[in-house]
């Protein structure tokens, strides 16, 4: 709040270094702090003067910008490519941002299938098959949006396998969207599961939102690129009135060339305040607390007869549903339909309550409910209270369903 207050208290269009030196410099510094905080590789540092980080409005904007850079890199390397042959790759679990970028840019997209058996994470083999198929049809996949922590279930794509496949297709850009889960990289013990090494090795760009699970109020989406030139090659348009001595000399960052808009807010102040007030340890404690509270929730689900987890808990997210014992004479398709119907009715009861807010999702045909812990003041008492509400409504839903 204080960061926003400070940012709003001065007129700061901030689009280039000359008109917002403090805004530019603090952002460059704070983004480098965050590289260290998350254990990202040195090539993402602004101080590397090759890669670098920039604060965008949302993860959707970050992905759009990454895809614009990917397209520009691809078409520069292969100038004869027709735009209608370019394809954006996403999976069925990618956030809407992948398809939306396709719609905005007027480009085709291909949505790759993932399976429940693989916990809804993309495998290298699926990617390889699709690439071979598309290439043989004269199509040009040029970017893959991979995810660490999908919205629906917290799935983490197999970036190791994906990286191996993409070695054979070096002109394809890998953007890793870790909008909510990425901040867990602050804790060393979650880095392996969040595939930090593979992000560092294979990603051309990486995004996480401080405004989701990083204690910063909306908006603060942090985007890093391995090579800033790909962003500026795609987005640098400099009419005379935007020219400055410093920009011409190439000695400063002009963030206007790293995103879509020209003017920008002084968002780094918000991250600065949070990092300075919580410190690395404070932020880690907060993330760990969210994960622990979710583990507590998952253990309550596991010990209950009427509920089950649909996927393994992921960081601070559990996906569950009602799954009472069913009549043995039902086929598996009928049983699935009956359970979906029950859970839809159950969810509709939950969503009419004023004291709990959960979102629903569908995972390969299975209707389920998401439980996410994230607020700084949430304690076990709140989780237990939520569990009481869930059981109370389950009792009514099950009774009505059995009648
Ligand atoms: N990516 C993931 C994995 C998300 O969970 C979300 C939001 O729920 C988004 C992207 C979109 O974030 P934003 O609102 O910053 O575009």
* Residue 387 Cα to ligand 1 middle (Å): 26
CATH of the domain at 244: 3.40.640.10
**Is any atom of ligand 1 closer than 6 Å to the C-beta of 95?**
yes
* Residue 240 Cα to ligand 1 middle (Å): 36
Do 253 and 375 sit in the same domain of this protein?
no
Counting the structural domains of the chain, the total is 2
Does residue 291 sit within a domain? yes
User: What's the predicted TM-score (pTM) here?
Assistant: 0.97
Residues 6 or more apart whose Cβ sits within 8 Å of residue 206: 40, 44, 175, 176, 178, 182, 199, 223, 224
φ, ψ of residue 307 in degrees (nearest 5): -110, 160
Query: Nearest Cα to 159, choosing from 108, 113, 112, 193?
Result: 193
Mutate to test the pocket of ligand 1, among 59, 104, 194, 319 (most ligand atoms within 8 A of CB): 59
Do 39 and 115 sit in the same domain of this protein?
yes
Do 258 and 287 sit in the same domain of this protein?
no
**Is any atom of ligand 1 closer than 6 Å to the C-beta of 58?**
yes
Beta bridge partners of 177: 147, 207
Do 29 and 138 sit in the same domain of this protein?
yes
Query: Nearest Cα to 290, choosing from 201, 369, 210, 377?
Result: 377
Does residue 383 sit within a domain? yes
**Is any atom of ligand 1 closer than 6 Å to the C-beta of 90?**
no
Q: What pLDDT does residue 403 have?
A: 64
* Residue 303 Cα to ligand 1 middle (Å): 31
Do 154 and 208 sit in the same domain of this protein?
yes
**Is any atom of ligand 1 closer than 6 Å to the C-beta of 175?**
no
CATH of the domain at 395: 3.90.1150.10
Do 173 and 301 sit in the same domain of this protein?
no
Looking at ligand 1, which atom is closest to the CA of residue 178? 3
> Three-state SS string across 111-153, please?
EECCCCCCCCCCCHHHHHHHHHHHHHCCCEEEEEEEEECCCCC
Does residue 271 sit within a domain? no
Integer Cα distance of 140 and 402 in angstroms: 53
Beta bridge partners of 263: none
Q: Running along the chain, 403 residues long, what does each successive block of 10 average in pLDDT?
A: 92 90 97 98 98 98 98 97 98 97 98 97 98 98 98 98 98 98 98 98 98 96 98 96 95 96 95 97 98 98 96 98 84 90 97 96 97 95 98 96 77
Residues 6 or more apart whose Cβ sits within 8 Å of residue 301: 307, 308, 309, 318, 320
pLDDT tens for each residue of 336-388: 999 999 999 999 999 999 999 999 999 999 999 999 999 999 999 999 999 99
Do 61 and 144 sit in the same domain of this protein?
yes
Residues 6 or more apart whose Cβ sits within 8 Å of residue 337: none
**Is any atom of ligand 1 closer than 6 Å to the C-beta of 209?**
yes
Do 158 and 212 sit in the same domain of this protein?
yes
**239, 16 in Cβ contact below 8 A?**
no
First to last CA, the chain: 51
* Residue 181 Cα to ligand 1 middle (Å): 10
Please identify, among 212, 235, 266, the residue that sits at the C-terminal boundary of a domain. 266
* Residue 269 Cα to ligand 1 middle (Å): 22
Q: Which domain holds residue 240?
A: 2-266
DSSP-derived 3-state class of residue 363: strand
Integer Cα distance of 371 and 383 in angstroms: 10
Q: In what order do the strands lie in the sheet with 52-56?
A: 52-56, 221-225, 205-209, 173-177, 140-147, 86-91, 108-112
Q: What is the largest CA-CA distance in the chain?
A: 79
Please identify, among 266, 293, 321, the residue that sits at the C-terminal boundary of a domain. 266
* Residue 61 Cα to ligand 1 middle (Å): 10
Do 262 and 284 sit in the same domain of this protein?
no
pLDDT tens for each residue of 171-212: 999 999 999 999 999 999 999 999 999 999 999 999 999 999
**Is any atom of ligand 1 closer than 6 Å to the C-beta of 94?**
no
Do 294 and 258 sit in the same domain of this protein?
no
Please identify, among 266, 296, 324, the residue that sits at the C-terminal boundary of a domain. 266
* Residue 208 Cα to ligand 1 middle (Å): 9
**Is any atom of ligand 1 closer than 6 Å to the C-beta of 180?**
yes
């Amino acid at each position: 709040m204080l960061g926003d207050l400070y940012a709003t208290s001065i007129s700061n269009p901030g689009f280039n270094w000359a008109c917002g030196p403090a805004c530019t410099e603090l952002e460059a510094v704070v983004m480098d702090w965050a590289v260290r905080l998350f254990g990202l590789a040195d090539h993402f540092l602004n101080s590397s003067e090759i890669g670098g980080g920039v604060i965008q409005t949302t993860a959707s904007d970050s992905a759009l910008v990454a895809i614009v850079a990917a397209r520009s890199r691809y078409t520069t390397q292969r100038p004869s490519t027709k735009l209608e042959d370019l394809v954006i790759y996403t999976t069925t679990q990618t956030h809407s941002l992948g398809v939306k970028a396709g719609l905005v840019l007027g480009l085709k997209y291909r949505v790759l299938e993932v399976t429940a058996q693989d916990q809804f994470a993309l495998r290298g083999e699926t990617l390889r098959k699709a690439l071979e198929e598309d290439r043989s049809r004269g199509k040009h996949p040029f970017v893959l949006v991979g995810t660490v922590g999908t919205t629906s279930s917290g799935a983490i794509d197999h970036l190791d396998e994906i990286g191996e496949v993409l070695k054979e297709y070096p002109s394809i850009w890998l953007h890793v969207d870790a909008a909510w889960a990425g901040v867990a990289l602050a804790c060393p013990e979650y880095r392996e599961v969040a595939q930090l090494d593979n992000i560092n090795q294979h990603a051309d760009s990486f995004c996480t939102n401080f405004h989701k699970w990083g204690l910063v109020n909306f908006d603060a989406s942090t985007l890093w690129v391995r090579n800033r030139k790909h962003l500026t090659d795609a987005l640098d348009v400099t009419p005379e009135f935007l020219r400055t001595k410093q920009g011409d000399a190439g000695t400063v960052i002009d963030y206007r060339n790293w995103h879509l808009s020209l003017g920008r807010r002084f968002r780094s102040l918000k991250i600065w305040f949070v990092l300075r007030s919580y410190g690395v340890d404070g932020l880690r404690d907060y993330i760990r607390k969210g994960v622990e509270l979710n583990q507590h929730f998952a253990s309550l689900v596991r010990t209950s007869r009427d509920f089950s987890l649909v996927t393994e808990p992921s960081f601070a997210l559990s996906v569950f549903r009602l799954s009472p014992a069913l009549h043995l004479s039902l086929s598996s398709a009928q049983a699935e339909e009956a359970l979906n119907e029950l859970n839809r009715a159950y969810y509709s009861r939950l969503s009419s309550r004023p004291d709990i807010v959960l979102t629903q999702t569908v995972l390969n045909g299975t209707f389920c409910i998401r439980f996410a812990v994230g607020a700084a003041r949430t304690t076990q008492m709140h989780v237990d209270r939520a569990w009481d509400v869930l059981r109370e409504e389950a009792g009514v839903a099950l009774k009505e369903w059995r009648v």
